[in-house]
Structure 1
């Protein structure tokens, strides 16, 4: 007779001792497996239990030490610079600065500037020329500087809009158009911002170099500010080729603008050894500077277009009317008034391809 089975009279095999053992082993294995699955599910539902399971021996006090930035053999890794902690506290600090301070700052300064300019326009109105136009023109901006100015201005507007979208877009466009549209929009904004930024930086430096001699501060600029650019008192304020306000805008670009460009390069090219802390500080500096520049640029755009009669003509045609030059840049006008030409002379010059691309003598 076989050791494992015994044949019953009816031909039906009986379970032997070993078959019973295997049945109990299978039952025990199923029980252990079910308990293990239950443990995993419970750990996933309970973060504290998951933490203690994944990292036994680490309690809440130790995690608070890690979060506070304390370092030690148990917390240190081999990563570069600020990545030496299991939890990088500086990342949370950056997030708080960005969300609690930088974003509200942007809304306040840009929104405030728009409100101020709107009220100013509604109450004071446009600055019209006091005298009649003479019809005689003075050459002010050569073609190269006009092209450079509009290139920088166009790039600045694109960068400002894409930057604002990166900072605030999800709060506006995501809710209006949905995730799909907003996702494509934010990707396009990031692409344009990253690739046009370096071009803007290079052109801005070239523009600043070309204009520096016309924007050296002079004594009469202080008087210009005291009289609010002519808003205080009845007399015109002395100004050379560039008035006090234009010089202020120039030096804002030469300081804050260059700082924004430099921090943008740090963010755009993270392959020169800069670590996470450096990138986070560069991001804060870049955002604050760019938001401030955007706010001030709104004032510059208003004054150069809608706010002052005749200002835009100089940057589109290169020429300004004698009356405009006399009222806004009287010191410069006195030096170049004998170089004025009539509109018919301009037509003749352009017809003969001698469009007068040599600027009149400048006084800053």
Structure 2
């Protein structure tokens, strides 16, 4: 079994090039969705423009028949109506007038803030030189769980954005044939990867729960903006307040997104159409919000903080990084620090089998 450092050779800043290329590609695709989506959001938000192509001749008499309730159905099995379900019209208006613009504003706004922050503030560099001594922060199992969940999250985000905005972006650009294959593939991936993501997310939340309970030092960390306000870096344990906020967003909004997705993924438990429509609205709002926040998480863990990606790629962090960003945790585990050169040598001799020479600080008891 090869270690991550053998599969991903490190370079100057200890960041795997292939992972950075993947992250850049993800950000570029999101920029494409947002930039092109802005030019089409007016069409998406115009219910008359869409309905005229789907349901022609919607005159006043037709709407009177719809409103009197004669054609309303309450289950997915009794599809004998020949007019429009009024609740479906409400769902479409909410989706087009509110959810679609909300997604563009949330994701586009986050991308803009990240770009401005990087240009103005720059990368969070280490205040002291690297010591050369390493501390185990993430075991191989924890890293595998993290990258599995992260990969599934990115795939679900991209396919979900395609389902929401894709017809306004790719259909006019590439035509019906390409669009049909693309949306079919997106739907298939989204439907089948969603439950797998849900299972792995619950596992990783349970595994890291003990490190994410709020503590007194978290309020000071937030007051200082993680070190951006005032002098000195605020105290932090194994997880700082920002990481804890991301954890609890996944544990709350993430679970809601998973549950609403399962309601739509398995439409064979007597769900009414109203239930499916509300599940779709809740799922979209939660998923778009999490995608926007995830962009900040990705930035901080890669380009924004020196040494952060190194820890999740190799499992080890430098002593200087631990003291600067997680000083309370460092005081607990500093006796476990090992020489970096000796660690690399031992890994080479063991051919990747000596990936965990010390105790795992992230393993729940």
Deviation at 1:218, TM superposition (A): 0.5
In the alignment, what sits opposite 1:154?
151
In the alignment, what sits opposite 1:215?
212
Q: Structure 1 pair 357/196, CA: closer, same or farther in 2 (3 Å)?
A: farther
Q: Structure 1 pair 225/169, CA: closer, same or farther in 2 (3 Å)?
A: same
Off by >3 Å, runs of 4+ in structure 1:
63-66, 76-79, 81-87, 357-364
Distance 2:216 2:311 in 1: 25
Give RMSD over aligned pairs.
2.4
Deviation at 1:234, TM superposition (A): 1.4
Highest RCO, 1 vs 2 (Cα 8 Å, sep ≥ 6): 2
SS at match of 2:175: helix
CA contact (8 A) 1:77 1:84 kept: no
In the alignment, what sits opposite 1:284?
281
Q: Structure 1 pair 201/238, CA: closer, same or farther in 2 (3 Å)?
A: same
CA contact (8 A) 2:208 2:362 kept: no
Distance 2:245 2:180 in 1: 39
Q: How many residues align?
A: 304
Q: Structure 1 pair 168/76, CA: closer, same or farther in 2 (3 Å)?
A: closer
Distance 1:194 1:361 in 2: 35
Deviation at 1:355, TM superposition (A): 2.5
SS at match of 1:232: coil
In the alignment, what sits opposite 1:355?
355
Specify which of 168, 172, 176 is matched with residue 171 of structure 1: 168
Q: Structure 1 pair 184/64, CA: closer, same or farther in 2 (3 Å)?
A: closer
- Residue deviations 1:148-186, cap 9 Å, x none? 100000000000000001111111111211111111111
Asked if 1:111 corresponds to 2:105, the answer is: no
Q: How does 1:174-213 map to 2 (within 5 A)?
A: 174-213=171-210
Distance 1:226 1:329 in 2: 16
Give TM-score scaled by structure 1 length. Answer: 0.79
Asked if 1:137 corresponds to 2:134, the answer is: yes
Asked if 1:248 corresponds to 2:245, the answer is: yes
Q: Structure 1 pair 77/295, CA: closer, same or farther in 2 (3 Å)?
A: closer
| Structure with larger Rg | 1
CA contact (8 A) 2:139 2:362 kept: no
Worse overlay, 86-95 or 267-276: 86-95
Deviation at 1:349, TM superposition (A): 3.2
Q: Structure 1 pair 65/174, CA: closer, same or farther in 2 (3 Å)?
A: closer
Distance 1:362 1:155 in 2: 22
- Residue deviations 1:51-80, cap 9 Å, x none? 9xxxxxxx93xx554433x44xxx267753
Deviation at 1:359, TM superposition (A): 3.9
Q: Any stretches of 5+ residues in structure 1 without a counterpart? A: 1-45, 52-58
Specify which of 64, 77, 80 is matched with residue 75 of structure 2: 80
Distance 2:293 2:232 in 1: 26
Distance 1:363 1:329 in 2: 17
Q: How does 1:2-151 map to 2 (within 5 A)?
A: 60=61, 63-68=62-67, 70-71=68-69, 75=70, 80=75, 87-151=84-148
In the alignment, what sits opposite 2:260?
263
Worse overlay, 313-322 or 335-344: 335-344
Distance 2:57 2:188 in 1: 38
Give TM-score scaled by structure 2 length. Answer: 0.78
